[in-house]
Each structure stands twice: as C-alpha cells, then as structure tokens.
Amino acid sequence: MWTIFISIRYLVAKRREKFISVISLISVLGVAVGVAALIVVLSIMTGFDDEIKEKIIGTYSHIIVMREGGINNAGEVISELKKANGIVEGSPFIEDQALIKVGETMVGVLVRGLDPVSEPKVTNIRNFLGKGSLDFGKNNIIIGKELEKNLDIKNGEKVSLVSPRNTKALDFIISDTFQSGRYDYDANLVCIDIDKARELFGKGKFVSGIGLKVNDEYNVKNVKKNIQKIFGYPYAVRTWMDLDKNLMKALAMEKKMMFIILGLIVVVACFNIGSSLIMIVMEKTKDIGILKALGATPFGIGIIFLFEGLFIGLIGTILGGLSGVAITKNINAIAGSIEKLTGFEFFPSDIYYLSSIPSKINFGDISTILIYALMLTVLAGIYPAIQASRLDPVEAIRYE
C-alpha cells in the first residue's frame, strides 16, 4: 500500500513551513480535547442517571400494581403475578395523605404503610435507613431526613398522624430516619407498619397497591405489558420510569444536547484538519506532479491525503480516549486537588446529597464518541483529497 507509506512519510516529515506543523498539532489536540470532554461529561451524566434511578428504585419498587378502590386479596394477586415472566417478588403497601402533628405544629405528609418482611425484597429502602433495618415495632415511625430537620425533631420523640379521611389520630415514636437523596421524598414521606396504616385510614383488608421486583429493571416495559394482559381494568400498572417520566425524559434530552454541544469541539478541530491538509497539498504540489508523471492515479493521490487526515484524527482520538477514561476514573481525586488549591467546592454534598461525583464509564458511549470523531476526520480530508487528485502533473512541475 504505497499510499499509506507516503501518507505516513508526509505526516512525520519535517515541514518547510513550520506553520503547517503547528496547525496539524492544534488539530490533533483539538480532536483529543473534544473526545476527552465528551467522554468525561457523558460518563458523569451516566453516573448521575444511575444514581437517580437507584434512588427512585430504592424508594419505590420496579413496578406498582394498583386498583381503583384498593386490592382486598393482595396475597392471591401476588401469587398470580409471580407466574408472569420476569417477576421475582411482591409486597403490598398502603399509601395515603395525612397530617403529622408535633406539639402545635401540623404538616401534610405522604404516609406509606409497608410490610417489614416483604418490602426489603422489592426495594432498596434499607440502604437509605440510618439503622439499616426496617423495624416498626409496635408503634414506630420512620421519617425523611429533611422532614426531621424541618420539624426540628429527633429519634425517640413522639409524633401523631391524623387521617383527614376519618379524623382518626394515632401516636408514634420516631425510631429511624431515611435519606434517599431526593428532597421531595425526604421532606414529605413517612413510613409506618402496614397494619397501623390500615387502622389509621380504616382500610380493613384492603391495600392501595402491590410493589413488584423484576429480574431486569430496564426491561420493565415488557413485564408491564404481560401484567396488563393478566389484569385488565380496573387494575393500573405503573413502572418506576412512569413515576418520574418527565425527569427521565429530561435526563435523556440533556445527555443528547451535551453530546451535540461538546461534539462541536471535534467539528472545529476537523476544520483545522481540513485547512492543514489543504496547505499540505499546496506544499506538496511538486511531489504530486512527479507521482502522477510516474503513473499514480488520481484516486491514489486522493487516498494519500485522505489517509493523512485519518491518521491525524486517529492520533487525536486515541489521545482523547485515553485521557477521557483516565480523567473519569480519577475525577474525584482531581476535583479534591482543585478544591484544596482554590477553596472552591465543585460538588457541595448538602445540595447533591452525594459524597463524591458519580461517574460511570459506558463503553457503548465511548464507542459512539470514537466513531463520531473518526468519521468527522475522514470527512475533513475529502475536499483536500479531491483537490490533490485533480492537480495537472504538467502544471505541477512546469517550473521545477
């Protein structure tokens, strides 16, 4: 492949014009910076996505089955649901609005009555609890960390729940708090034993719904369809994605927009590649004329400069890929060093409820970025390659 041999020679040979070498170097660095920035940002956004999904799944189950008016045969329904493909466990729950009373203060909250035995099998709620155990005892209540701050109360203190449906009130002792990382959950949700919830809201044998755990939380749509075939109206089936549908759409759209915006860095770098190749074609006019006089085809001449653009892009892509992965893996150490030097906190834990910057390297995203960068570098070399292939050998070497 003489074309590849000449491309490499042109790439590593010293330039008569130093300016061309500088532009080529800038092109390589531009591609590297663009690729690295894309990998780092998308990895952090993927990490955030996973953290948010984990918090949603931790507080709620993968799938919720509800019925208008409530479900009075939860055990039978769970047994029937387990027959569907992909469902692992099920747990009944009661959910309703109530008022929590502390002294003379009353605040509206969302009460969830949970089964302490089956609930940990369908959610990760124990991971968010201070004590790590879902123990309601006789009359214990677990409240969100933000609600605890807002009401200025602590474990061991007495509170009352008042049902606006029947004005019934029950007294509870705060036994633990949970911190999911979602302010709307932590500031408004309280958990009690499911039997106490039945007593508070006068539910009798009825429950509000059944939470289900599936084998693959990202395949809940197919499981949802199967459940809907088994249980039609008046049952309603909602997945964890449905609970925060707008948030999921916003995260997906944000990730796409960041890819487009940061991808423009690579586009600018590819313009530099194109301009440097055009100047190389002008510098190598005599060489092109000699090659054509020796029998080189226009296609072969074009391939030389197309490969040269590809090599420049390939070097930048490899450098950017390695740098992006290295930065992503050490992002918290880098952020910590910058904070020590500047005193500026990039990731306040009291705002994000996270002790470190979440990041996850997704090799699917990295492959897409690398292919995208290489395709742009090939496109950047097309015009200079066409111009080189059209040079007339007689005109090229007439004055040599």
Listed as ranges, residues in the chain with pLDDT below 50 are none
- Residue 233, token pair as written in the block: 């109206």
Q: Does the CA dihedral 338-339-340-342 come out positive or negative?
A: positive
CB 334 within 8 A of CB 321: no
| Residues in Cβ contact with 349 at an 8 Å cutoff, skipping those fewer than 6 apart | 355
pLDDT attached to residue 102 = 87
Residue type, 353: Y
Selection from 322, 324, 323, 317 nearest residue 269 by Cα: 317
pLDDT attached to residue 27 = 81
pLDDT attached to residue 319 = 92
pLDDT attached to residue 336 = 76
Distance, in Å, from the CA atom of 181 to the CA atom of 34, rounded to the nearest integer, reads 32
pLDDT tens digit string along 285-298? 787 788 877 888 88
Mean predicted lDDT score pLDDT of the chain: 82
Contacts 24+ apart (CB under 8 A), 341-349: none
Residue 252's region, left for phi above 0, alpha for psi from -120 to 50, else beta, is alpha
* 204-to-59, 95, 110, 197 alpha-carbon distances in Å: 25, 14, 19, 10
Rounding to the nearest 10 degrees, give the CA dihedral for residues 25, 26, 30, 32. Answer: 20
Q: Name the maximum alpha-carbon separation found in the chain.
A: 103
pLDDT tens digit string along 96-130? 899 998 888 888 999 998 888 888 888 888 888 87
Q: Does the CA dihedral 194-59-180-135 come out positive or negative?
A: positive
Distance, in Å, from the CA atom of 228 to the CA atom of 239, rounded to the nearest integer, reads 12
Distance, in Å, from the CA atom of 24 to the CA atom of 119, rounded to the nearest integer, reads 61
pLDDT attached to residue 399 = 54
Q: How many residues does the chain have?
A: 400
CB 162 within 8 A of CB 202: no
